[in-house]
Structure 1
Amino acid sequence: MMINGTQKCPRVVALVGPYSSGKTTLLENILYMTKTTRRRANGERVFGDDSVEAKALSMGVDANVASAEYLGDRYIFLDCPGSIELLQETRFAVHSADVAVVVADPEPDKIQSLSPLLHELEAEGIPHLLFINKIDHSNVHIRDIAQALDEVSALPSVLRHVPIREDGEISGFVDLAARRAYSYGADGSFEITETASSYIEQVNDERFQMMERLADFHDDLMEELLEDIDPQAEEIFSDLAKDLKEGRIMPVLMGSAINSFGLRRLMKALRHEMPGFELAATRMLPEVTSEPAAYVLKTKYLPHMGKLSFARVLSGGLSDGMTTAGTKVSGLFAVDGADLKKASKAGVGDVIAIPRLEGLTTGDTIGAPGAPRPQKLHPVYAQAITVHDRKDEAKLSDALSRLVEEDPSFEVEHREDTGQLLLWGQGEIHMRTAMARLSEKYGVGVTFSFPQVPYKETIRRSKVQHTRYKKQSGGHGQFGDVVIEVSPKGLGQGFEFSEKIHGGSIPKQYIPSVEAGVKEYLKQGPLGFPVVDVSVTLQDGQYHNVDSSDMAFKTAGRMAMADALPGCEPVLLEPIEHVRVMAPSSYMAKINGMITSRRGQIMGFDVRDGWPGWDQIEAQMPASEMQDLIIELRSVTQGIGTFEHEFDHLNELAGRLKEQVLEGVEEKRRL
């Protein structure tokens, strides 16, 4: 498709919003209204995510694609998952959209949960409007909802509609821009009411506030308001479209997805007021090119098909069998829900599925490797993975690689200190999707558990140790004799090995072997953990012309450390993380208590830059206290609080907590 006016690109609309806000129902009834599907959604799922993970969790976990035509224009909808733990999936999908519709519940105390989504859209520069859903189930005044929106949005919310209530029921709405009142039909259609003027007079304050907000960006409109001139509807619609395109405002519409109320008005707003592909193309592909380019918004592995990359064509178009920028496009599929149909080509603006795009991951742009890409979420929750059957260990490695490719907000870590394989992600729900995929999709049964804390140990005092290793078992024996001095170093100063051998008491070729034996012992000290921050000096020793060897001196070095360290006053060290907790200001008192209850030390407070109404706390916290931190944090912040963390230092652990750790070590040794 061309973008010069001879043909229109399809508009890509991302539907975003918290879990259970009604995004999928909204999409299903848009598809029904546009005669794309034959069944109307009435609370049961008609269209959407049918993956094994979605079935296991009873919620959508993938961004799903659907298309529809309305008044001659083609729309591609991306129905994004609602859980905050699946924000990475939403982030990649939204990056490809022309516009976004944020679906919200009609309750002011739930509006705060929109903060992460609104910030994503504002940071990306994606034009967006807000659709207040379930308006028929709310008695809250629309003005209160608009006020709550202003507290979480960096853009001023511009209320477009006010509901009409008759006998406690929603029967229609007043369009503040058009200055008309409409009543709803049973099928969601609307028509001008016979008593329109009385309803219009009741919402003069809301209409004037809407025009005041637009007047902040339009001098002509400001002059008209100052002179008590009622602006023409065409002027207001023009200002709305311009301000939306330039990222100045967030229009607010309303309706009821399940009753199809407000859906036609929403589609008309998308048609007349929303910017099209040109703005998105400029954002996604800053350097103009006529060469084929496409942004990969999603990666998925399907049975019997393998890797499938969902991409939006940004320039040039794609055709089956072509090669662009060294990438072979072998096969194309048109996408509509779970249906994949073979296609020979895809035009600019289309969303297409491409199989076997090796070397490209979600967020990459085919043909434009330097194009902007969404950031990856910081991991906040880890689980140790154990396979049910050891024969599946090789299979697990491949499955995890695919899991991370499908969702880059997962990270895999092989922790040498504890010998555990860790999967990092965004929370409990995120981990449950991983377990479902590994088990049902990739056939690898696994058990998840909290990771072992990577404790360390060090020493407080020095000791000189003389140890001899002597073994005779026929033929050449084994002989190594060493005198070492073990001394503590400051925390964080690491390990140091040196030697002061004089007179050849130990030949130089054996000294590295002593060091190797020392290092081998340091992997597990007398308390059962790796030893850090010590210096070891090889002072003296003896050797045998026949029986000494590298292995003998390595063994002697290890034995000398085992003899010395229990007498050096070993100290248990726990890792301390630097944590930056971010949440709405109203929750900070609870978060302070949460941090201190977890032995955390608060280091400072600040506002969170670019997030209206949010603060951040800098703190230091033991790693052992952070394993379920995200769970408690989200429980006290309506699910939207988050944190970033990094290792800071090691600190001595004493008292009862130390005893509990060592009791756990002893129990494992007995087992």
Structure 2
Amino acid sequence: MTTFRNIAIVGPYSSGKTTLLESLLYVSGVITRKGSISDKNTVGDAAAEARDRQMSTEVTAASLEHGGLSFNFLDCPGSVELLQETLNVLVGVDAAVVVCEPEPDRVLTLAPLFQTLDEWEIPHLVFINKMDRSHTEFNEVLAALKQVSGRPLVMHQYPIGNGETLTGFIDLVSEQAYQYHPDAAADPIPFPAELKAQEQAAHAAMLETLADFDDHLLEELLEDVEPPQEEVLQDFKAELGADQIVPVFIGEADKEFGVRPLLDALVKEAPDSSETAARRGLHAEAERPVAQVLKTFLSSQGGKLSLVRIWQGQLNDGMTLNEARIGGIYHLTGQQQKSTLQAEAGEIVVLSRMEPIKTGDTLTVAGKALSLPKANPLEPVFSLAIKPENRKDEVKLSGAIAKLIQEDPGLSWEHRDATHEMILWGQGDIHLQIAKDRLGRKFNLPVSTNTPHVPYKESIRKAAHSHGRYKHQTGGHGQFGDVHLDIQPQSRGEGFRFQEKIVGGSVPRQYIPGVETGVREFLRQGTLGFPVVDVSVTLTDGAYHSVDSSEQAFKQAARIAMQSGLANCDPVLLEPIERVTLSTPASLTSKVLGVITHHRGQILGYEPKKDWSGWDEISAYLPMAEMQTLIIELRSQTQGVGFFNWQDDHLEIVPDKVAERVLTQVETAPAA
């Protein structure tokens, strides 16, 4: 039985993940020539949206053989706006390689990723890339990493350099020094005497950390016994597999420096797919097939591909899972597909034409439902109003967006009745611009976007009495209705109430519903131009004509009364207020508090974030009108790691200066 290992490559934007994948494929012989991001010819980032932006926009899968094992690598986008892609994939991997740059100031960007990996107990190691660009002492980088990792970091290698140039490394397990060579494996070299003290300290620190989880190794250290290399490697494998430690490797992916040792370590120390399955309560050798969808791809021709992790059993072409028949099984290397008739437990493959299934679904044979843990959709934090450039395409838009969400569950949409807009939600402007591009390219549906309108409301601050008469004479019967209304404000959130106190039949009972209808219709757009809320209207008196009166006439009379009366009730503009919970590193809390106050926010308080060491959680009220750019400024102040959740809370009176600006925009909108 083939042994598989499924590895996610994760890390911040521009850390070099796609370049690392390219080098992994190159040194293992899958490709004979490396591509580059700038030349737009890498195996990863092959989608048009990725190459236009020179950044990963979706997961790339690729397979290789090394050390007698089959590896499936999943290169994940680094942009925080595309985090949903990464989360969806992480549920199906055996381990993750966290790629970062040797810049202490940027290490904070790894904090949420480390938190997720630890929370989900996914074994992970760190590959410090671009060591040739480091202007910082290696120990400073390591210290910064320790501050954001919830698990102890264990140096597996120590760098050898010439000035700022990385020339090799020392393997801290074997204590053998190596020199890098372009396009070739590193060669053993004599131990550099000038690094003896630093290497010994790093070696001792490595053993001490491993001994925290191995009593036998601790006894050896206490007795000054140097443990055998095999024992140390077994500790790395056991403790990495249990997500107790985070081994640290170094290199320069663009030159393949450190790539081969990284692959070797994944062979010797990363957990097998069968071990991961056992932790999920599954057995790779069992006959019953169980798989999980990690990603959905939709081609421009409309074909659907589902990237799945096989946890248990074997999949065969034509097999039916979840009442859907497999239309083909393929191994992926970037966008290249290689057909196969079957795939076994531990593999990550693509299934075609599984139309009913969605990302995150657990697949098994009919009649035996099963649900494995999956990533929850992230809360949306940014929105755009969207409409087709060609009005004839309006009927196609909702269907196209629904398909887009199949491919990217981080998107969502709503039709906002109050503003008559279709709103597309996501994790930021880049995220939504990518979605816009896909609508044009994959569905031939070019769209335009704009900032959504705020669904303002209006209400009143004082009571008034109003009279309305509608009299209209035609050649035959005329129209006559006469009403007296008392208009009063209600407490915020009480809504609309209609009453009648007619005495003596001044308004016949059959016409009173027409009065209420007229009032309700007028409140759809009040004197300020917005729907009116929290108002009580009482019909107190009126008059009718035995021939000319009708329900329609009384409806018109009510509208006339409301138009004149509401203007005398001191109308006021209301805006929706959101309750927002913001999460930020504690060191940056003061900056985030400043962002909140800058956005007319009301700070309710803050406290340490539960289960997040060194993080704060801030509660606040913010006007919806100020929410559009909140995520942009929050990420700007927190190196991209701050995030928030929100929910509609209440309506509040708009400050006078803001109200003036809003009403001016309403008045000038028709002319524009």
TM-score normalized by structure 1? 0.94
Partner of 2:352: 355
Q: Contact 1:600–1:622 at 8 Å: present in 2 too?
A: yes
Partner of 1:590: 591
Residue 283 of structure 1: CA displacement? Answer: 5.2
Partner of 1:40: 34
Secondary structure at 2:669 match in 1: helix
Greater CA drift, 536-545 or 605-614: 536-545
Query: Is 1:56 the equivalent of 2:52?
Result: yes
Partners of 2:316 and 2:547 lie apart in 1 by: 75
Query: Is 1:241 the equivalent of 2:237?
Result: yes
Partner of 2:650: 649
Partner of 2:305: 308
Residue 100 of structure 1: CA displacement? Answer: 0.6
Tell me which of 192, 199, 218 is aligned to 1:203: 199
Greater CA drift, 521-530 or 475-484: 475-484
Query: Is 1:116 the equivalent of 2:112?
Result: yes
Partners of 1:670 and 1:566 lie apart in 2 by: 24
Q: 1:510 to 1:363 in 2, by over 3 A?
A: farther
Partner of 2:383: 382
Partners of 1:561 and 1:244 lie apart in 2 by: 72
Residue 503 of structure 1: CA displacement? Answer: 4.1
Q: Contact 1:573–1:652 at 8 Å: present in 2 too?
A: yes
Greater CA drift, 347-356 or 432-441: 347-356
Greater CA drift, 604-613 or 522-531: 604-613
Greater CA drift, 398-407 or 282-291: 282-291
Q: Contact 1:181–1:199 at 8 Å: present in 2 too?
A: no
The within-5 A match list for 1:485-500 is: 485-500=486-501
Tell me which of 115, 118, 132 is aligned to 2:128: 132
The within-5 A match list for 1:544-555 is: 544-555=545-556
Residue 410 of structure 1: CA displacement? Answer: 1.2
Query: Is 1:164 the equivalent of 2:165?
Result: no
Partner of 1:20: 14
Partners of 1:489 and 1:646 lie apart in 2 by: 24
Partner of 2:600: 599
Query: Could you report, residue by residue, the CA deviation over 1:461-510 in whole angstroms, capped at 9, with x for unpaired residues?
Result: 11222222233334444333333221101112222222233444444444
Query: Is 1:100 the equivalent of 2:96?
Result: yes
Query: Could you report, residue by residue, the CA deviation over 1:78-104 in whole angstroms, capped at 9, with x for unpaired residues?
Result: 111110100001111122111110101
Secondary structure at 1:484 match in 2: strand
Q: 1:306 to 1:517 in 2, by over 3 A?
A: farther
Q: 1:520 to 1:72 in 2, by over 3 A?
A: same
Q: Contact 2:43–2:333 at 8 Å: present in 1 too?
A: no
Query: Is 1:268 the equivalent of 2:264?
Result: yes
Q: Which amino acid aligns with 2:406?
A: E
Partners of 2:501 and 2:164 lie apart in 1 by: 92
Residue 139 of structure 1: CA displacement? Answer: 4.1
Partner of 2:296: 299
Partners of 2:270 and 2:456 lie apart in 1 by: 55
Residue 544 of structure 1: CA displacement? Answer: 4.4
Residue 195 of structure 1: CA displacement? Answer: 3.2
Unaligned runs of 5+ in 1: 1-6
Partners of 2:293 and 2:164 lie apart in 1 by: 47
**Identity among equivalent pairs (%):** 45
Partners of 2:442 and 2:210 lie apart in 1 by: 51
Q: Contact 2:384–2:425 at 8 Å: present in 1 too?
A: yes
Q: Which amino acid aligns with 1:105?
A: E
Q: Which amino acid aligns with 1:59?
A: M
Q: Which amino acid aligns with 1:354?
A: L
Query: Could you report, residue by residue, the CA deviation over 1:199-248 in whole angstroms, capped at 9, with x for unpaired residues?
Result: 45541111111122122222222222222222222221111111111111
Greater CA drift, 198-207 or 94-103: 198-207
Q: Contact 1:39–1:46 at 8 Å: present in 2 too?
A: no
Greater CA drift, 21-30 or 435-444: 435-444
Partners of 2:644 and 2:386 lie apart in 1 by: 23
Partners of 1:360 and 1:513 lie apart in 2 by: 50
Query: Is 1:541 the equivalent of 2:542?
Result: yes
Q: Contact 1:56–1:436 at 8 Å: present in 2 too?
A: no
Secondary structure at 2:582 match in 1: strand
Residue 41 of structure 1: CA displacement? Answer: 4.5
Q: Which amino acid aligns with 1:234?
A: E
Unaligned runs of 5+ in 2: none
Q: 1:549 to 1:588 in 2, by over 3 A?
A: same
Residue 526 of structure 1: CA displacement? Answer: 0.6
Tell me which of 68, 75, 81 is aligned to 1:79: 75
Greater CA drift, 253-262 or 223-232: 223-232
Query: Is 1:318 the equivalent of 2:315?
Result: yes
Residue 153 of structure 1: CA displacement? Answer: 1.0
Query: Is 1:335 the equivalent of 2:332?
Result: yes
Q: Contact 2:220–2:226 at 8 Å: present in 1 too?
A: yes
Greater CA drift, 64-73 or 118-127: 118-127
Secondary structure at 2:567 match in 1: helix
The alignment yields a C-alpha RMSD, in angstroms, of 2.1
Partner of 1:3: none
Residue 569 of structure 1: CA displacement? Answer: 0.7
Partners of 1:225 and 1:512 lie apart in 2 by: 90
Partner of 1:11: 5
Query: Could you report, residue by residue, the CA deviation over 1:338-392 in whole angstroms, capped at 9, with x for unpaired residues?
Result: 1123332222122222233233221111234532110111111111113222112
Q: 1:345 to 1:554 in 2, by over 3 A?
A: farther
Q: 1:168 to 1:64 in 2, by over 3 A?
A: closer
Partner of 1:419: 420
